[in-house]
Amino acid sequence: MTDQDFSPFTLESPTGASLALRHMPATGPARGVVQINHGLAEHAARYRSFAGFLAERGYHAYAHDHRGHGATRAPDSIPGAFAGSGGADKVIADVAAVQARIRETHPDLPVITFGHSMGGLVALNFAQAHPRASKALAIWNSNFNAGVAGRAGQALLAVEAFFKGSDTPSTVLPKLTFQAWARAMPDRRTDFDWLSRDPVEVDAYIADPLCGWDATVSMWRDVFELIYRGGSAGQLENLPKDLPVHLLGGGEDPATDKGRAIEWLAERMKQTGLENIESRVLPDTRHETLNEINRDAAMDRFAQWLDRHIPAPS
C-alpha cells in the first residue's frame, strides 16, 4: 500500500463552505480520478487505505469532508448539520466544486463518482444534477428505498423541528437507525458491530471523536430529501443510458435491509433504461464494505470494473 500523504487542504466552495479536501496521487501513469463521498457521521480521512489502493492501480483519489462533518466549515453550518436551509442542494454544489478542482488539475482524465452510504445518496443526486460530469458511478451500501417508514420518519422529524428546532440532534431518528441496526446484530460486542465483522475497524470507529455522533434534525431531513429525490424515476431518467454503474451491498447490512435496497435500486435503474449496471450483494457482509474482513476481494473486483470502463493511459 502506498505511503503517500493524504493530509487535507482547504478548497473554498461557491456555497461559502471551506471544504477539507484530501488527495492521494496515482502512482505511475494515471488512468482516471475517483471522487469519494463518505457516509453519515464519519469523515474523509477514513478512506486513506482505499485511496492508496486506487493510487497503486493508476487512479487519483480525492475525498472531502461534507458539510457538518470532519474539518469542513461553513458559515451557515454547524457540526452535525449541512446548512440552516437548502442543505441537500449545498452538499451537491460542494461536490461539484470538488470536481471542478479535479478537472482543473487533471483536465484529460475521466472522473468516477463514488459514494458509500449517505455518500452514495450524494453521489447519485450529483450525477442526476450533472448528467455528463461522471464517466462512471459507484454506489455502495446506500438505501434509496425508504418507503412508508421513511415518510413516517419525516413526519417525526417535523414534530421534533416544531418543538425544539432543526439544529439540535434528533432523538427519534437514532432509535430508528443506528440503535435499531445495533440491535439487529447477533451476539454483538458493541453498538457499532453492524458496521463490520472486523473488531479492529469497529473499535477504531468508536475511538474516533469525529465518528458516531447524532445528526441534527435538519441533517436527517436533508438525508431523506436525498433519498426520495435520488430514487425517483424522474431523476433516474436524467442519467445517461450508457453510464456504467457499480452497485454493491452487504447481505448482513441492516442499513440496506440486508442488501435488498441495493437490488431495489438496480431494478429501478433498469426500469428507467440504464443499460450498464453491475450489481452485487456480498454474503455475510455488513455495512462498511471497505472496512469489512472481505474488503480486499471487494476492492479488487471494483478495480477490475474500473479498468473495464476506463481506458488505459496511452
Contact 281, 259 (CB under 8 A): yes
Asked if residue 55 is part of any domain, the answer here is: yes
Asked if residue 3 is part of any domain, the answer here is: no
Contact 94, 68 (CB under 8 A): no
Residue from 225, 55, 245, 226 nearest 140 by CA: 245
- Full domain range(s) for residue 141: 8-309
Chain centroid, CA 169 distance in Å:
21
What is the distance between the alpha carbons of residues 143 and 263, in angstroms, rounded to a whole number? 10
Asked if residue 2 is part of any domain, the answer here is: no
CATH no. for residue 103?
3.40.50.1820
Asked if residue 89 is part of any domain, the answer here is: yes
- 232 grid coordinates: 425517483
pLDDT of residue 75: 96
CB neighbour list of residue 187: distance below 8 Å, 6 or more residues apart: none
pLDDT of residue 1: 44
pLDDT tens-place string over residues 230-265: 999 999 999 999 999 999 999 999 999 999 999 999
What is the distance between the alpha carbons of residues 208 and 256, in angstroms, rounded to a whole number? 24
Chain centroid, CA 92 distance in Å:
12
| Residue 50 amino acid letter | F
Asked if residue 154 is part of any domain, the answer here is: yes
Asked if residue 314 is part of any domain, the answer here is: no
CB neighbour list of residue 109: distance below 8 Å, 6 or more residues apart: 30, 31, 32, 33, 60
Asked if residue 1 is part of any domain, the answer here is: no
* Tally of helices (H runs) and strands (E runs) in the chain: 11, 8
pLDDT tens-place string over residues 16-39: 999 999 999 999 999 999 999 999
What is the distance between the alpha carbons of residues 115 and 275, in angstroms, rounded to a whole number? 20
Asked if residue 66 is part of any domain, the answer here is: yes
Residue ranges of the chain whose pLDDT lies below 70: 1-4
Q: How many domains does the chain have?
A: 1
